[in-house]
Amino acid sequence: MRTATLGCCEVTPEERVAVAEAKDEAGRLADLFKALSDGTRVRIVQRLLQSRQPICECHLVELFDLSQPTINYHLKVLREAGIVESDKRGVWSYYWVSPRAMLELVRSLTELG
3-state secondary structure 24-87: HHHHHHHHHHHHCCCHHHHHHHHHHHHCCCCEEHHHHHHHHCCCHHHHHHHHHHHHHCCCEEEE
pLDDT for position 4: 56
Domain boundaries, the chain: 16-112
Record the pTM. 0.77
Segment 39-85, tens digit of pLDDT: 999 999 999 999 999 999 999 999 998 999 999 999 999 999 999 99
Q: What is the dihedral of CA 19, 35, 85, 50, to 10 degrees?
A: 120
Fold of 16-112: Arc Repressor Mutant, subunit A (1.10.10)
Give percent of the chain above pLDDT 70.
88
